[in-house]
Amino acid sequence: MRLSTAGESHGKGLVAILEGIPAGLKVDFEEIAARLAARQSGYGRGARQKIEKDNAEFLAGVRGGVTLGSPIAILIPNLDYANWEPYMAPEGCDIETKKLTKVRPGHADLAGVVKFGTDDARNILERASARETAVRVAAGTVCRTLLRTLGVEIAGYVRAAGGIRDEKEYRFEELAGRSPVLSMMDRALEREACASIDRCRAEGDSCGGIAELRVKGLKSGFGSCMTYREKLDARLAAALMSVQAVKGVEVGLGFAAAEKRGSEVHDEIYYDGSFRRKTNRAGGIEGGMSNGEEIVLRAAMKPIPTLMKGLQTAEYPSGKPVRAAAERSDVCAIAACEEVLESALAYELAAVVTERLGGDTAAELKARYGALA
C-alpha cells in the first residue's frame, strides 16, 4: 500500500493518491465528511477554519461507491485559493507581495530556504503547513473502513492540552464519549484546558497537548522481530511522527517504563485454554509484533510555532534582527491533531495488514484475516 499527497496550503487544492486498497470495499462518504469536519474543529482553532469547509472529491478508483482495486485519487479544493490566486497561481503570479523573509522559529522556514535554494520562505511553508493533513484524513478514513471490515477499530482522545493533563485510564468503549469541544474525556479538566488556551490567546502565545490512540481487534503477529524495518512499533511511531508538530511518541507505558522495575513493566502471561495477559503495559506490541492486546499509543504535539506576538528571529538572507512574521494560525490544535493521528495510524495499520495477507478483494482479505489464530 502507498499513499502520496500533493498541494500547497493556499494553492488550488490538496491531492492524495492511495494505492493498494483492494476491490469491493464500500466507501463511507459520510464518515469521510464527518472526520474532515472534526479535523477543522476543536477549541483553539484559528480563523481559517471558518473559511474552508473541506469536501473530498473522489476522482478515480471508486465507482458506485465501491473501490475498483485501482489507485484512488482524492481532491480537496482550497476554497481560500480565490483570495490567493494572484500570489499562488502555477501559471504565473505576483511572487513579491506575499514573499516571506522573516523566517519563523519552530517552522520549516529557515532550514527549507537553505536546503531548497530560495530566499522566499513562502515556497517552504505552503507545503510544510498542516493544511496538508486534510487529504490524509480523507485517505486514512478509507483505510479505517478497510480495517473495520476485519474487526479492527481505532479510537482516541486528547489526554492533555494547554498544560492540563488527564491521568485517568479509560476503556476503549468509553472513548466514544469524548467531548466535541476539545476531545477530552473529563469535562472539568477540559474546562481548565480551555481556560489555559484562552490565556495563551490573550497573550499572543500558543500551546500544545498529548493525544492517546487505541487500536482494538488487531490479532497477534503483525509486524516482525526479524528486521528493524518490519517492527510494528517502529512503523506506527514513524506514522505518528510524520504528522506536523508531533515531537514524541510513546507505546504502552512509554517513557514511564524507564523509571520502573522490570516486575512493574512486563506483562505476565497466563494460559487458561488460550494465552493471555492480565495487564497491558507493553501497549499491545512486544518484540516489534502485535500480541493481540489493545494497542496503546500517545503522541505529543508541540505548541503551534506561529505566534501572533512573534518571536525574535533574523531576516533571510540579510541576517537583520526582526520579529518573526505572523501568519494566520491556531492557538491550540491538539483536537485536530488527534483526528489526523487516527488517520495516519489507520493508513499504516492497513498497509501492515495488506502486506502480510495480500488479496485482490476486500472479501479475500477478510477471509484470510479470519483464518488467523
Question: Which residue intervals of 89-161 are DSSP H helices?
Answer: 109-116, 122-128, 133-149
pLDDT of amino acid 328: 64
360 close to 69: Cβ distance less than 8 angstroms: yes
Nearest to 161 by CA among 212, 208, 213: 208
pLDDT of amino acid 306: 83
Q: What span, in angstroms and rounded, lies between the C-alpha atoms of 222 and 285?
A: 9
pLDDT of amino acid 78: 96
Query: How high is the mean pLDDT of the chain?
Result: 96
Q: In this predicted model, what pLDDT tens digit does every residue of 13-52 receive, in sequence order?
A: 999 999 999 999 999 999 999 999 999 999 998 765 566 6
Of 228 and 308, the structure prediction assigns the larger pLDDT to 228
Question: Which residue intervals of 117-231 are DSSP H helices?
Answer: 122-128, 133-149, 187-202
194 close to 181: Cβ distance less than 8 angstroms: yes
CA 59 to chain centre: 23
Q: What span, in angstroms and rounded, lies between the C-alpha atoms of 26 and 135?
A: 19
Q: In this predicted model, what pLDDT tens digit does every residue of 183-221 receive, in sequence order?
A: 999 999 999 999 999 999 999 899 999 999 999 999 999
pLDDT of amino acid 325: 73
Phi, psi of 240 (to 5 degrees): -70, -40
The fraction of the chain above a pLDDT of 90, given in percent, is 92
160 close to 182: Cβ distance less than 8 angstroms: no
pLDDT of amino acid 298: 98
Place of cell 500500500: 1
Three-class SS of residue 294? coil
Q: What span, in angstroms and rounded, lies between the C-alpha atoms of 209 and 329?
A: 16
Beta-strand pair 209-216/153-161: antiparallel
- First CA to last CA distance, the chain: 24
Supply 47's cell numbers: 480563523
**Which amino acid is it at 182?**
L
Q: In this predicted model, what pLDDT tens digit does every residue of 247-257 receive, in sequence order?
A: 999 999 999 99
Q: What average pLDDT does this structure show over 340-368?
A: 98
**Does pLDDT of 282 surpass 60?**
yes
81 close to 13: Cβ distance less than 8 angstroms: yes
Q: What span, in angstroms and rounded, lies between the C-alpha atoms of 359 and 372?
A: 14
The torsion angle over the Cα atoms of residues 98, 100, 104 and 107, rounded to 10 degrees, is 80
Q: In this predicted model, what pLDDT tens digit does every residue of 141-154 receive, in sequence order?
A: 999 999 999 999 99
Tell me the C-alpha to C-alpha distance, in Å, between residue 281 and each of 212, 220, 241, 255, 266: 14, 16, 21, 12, 7
Q: Taking the domains of the chain in order of start, what are their residue ranges?
A: 2-370
Q: In this predicted model, what pLDDT tens digit does every residue of 46-72 receive, in sequence order?
A: 765 566 689 999 999 999 999 999 999
**Does pLDDT of 327 surpass 90?**
no
Q: Which CATH class is domain 2-370?
A: alpha beta
pLDDT of amino acid 2: 98
The fraction of the chain above a pLDDT of 70, given in percent, is 98
49 close to 40: Cβ distance less than 8 angstroms: yes
Q: What span, in angstroms and rounded, lies between the C-alpha atoms of 310 and 53?
A: 28
